[in-house]
Amino acid sequence: MPPLPEATGEPLPDLVICRDAESAETVMAAGKVAAVFPEDWREEALRRTLEGMPRGAWLQLPPVCQEDTLQMIASLTREYASRLGGVVVDSLGQLGMEWPVAVGAG
C-alpha cells in the first residue's frame, strides 16, 4: 500500500458529486470541491469527460468495476493528473492503488 500523504489539518471545503462538467463549474464557482462521477466508463467517453472537466475538479471512482476497467481509469488519471484535483475512491481495492493525485475516501 502506498504511504499516506501528510495531513495538513485543514478541512477541505464541501465536496459535491456532479454528473457533468457544467455542474462541476457551478459547484467550484460556489467555493466547493466538485467530484465528477461519469455515467460512461468506457475509455473514449472517460477521456472526453476528463478533457471537459474544469481544472481542479476531482474524479469520483465507481464503487465496483472490473480490474481492467480500474487499470484503464488509473492510466487515464496519470495522463490527466495535471488537470485533476484528486480522486475519490469508493472501495478498499482502489485505496490500495497508487494514484498520482490527492486521494479522498467516499
Which pLDDT value is given to residue 1?
A: 43
Query: Mind listing the pLDDT tens digit for each residue in 33-52?
Result: 999 999 999 999 999 999 99
Q: Are strands 86-89 and 102-105 parallel, antiparallel or unpaired?
A: parallel
Residue 52 phi, psi dihedral angles, 5° rounding: -90, -10
Nearest 5°: phi and psi at 100? -85, 5
11-38 average pLDDT score:
91
Tell me the C-alpha distance between 21 and 27, whole Å: 10
pLDDT score at 105: 81
Residue 3 clears pLDDT 60, i.e. is over it: no
**pLDDT digits 0-9 by tens, 54-87:** 999 999 999 999 999 999 999 999 999 999 999 9
Across the strands, what pairs with 58? 35, 86
Q: In the block, which residue shows the cell 499516506?
A: 4
Predicted local confidence at residue 11, as pLDDT: 67
Q: What is the pLDDT of residue 93?
A: 78
pLDDT at 94: 84
Q: Is the pLDDT of residue 4 over 60?
A: no
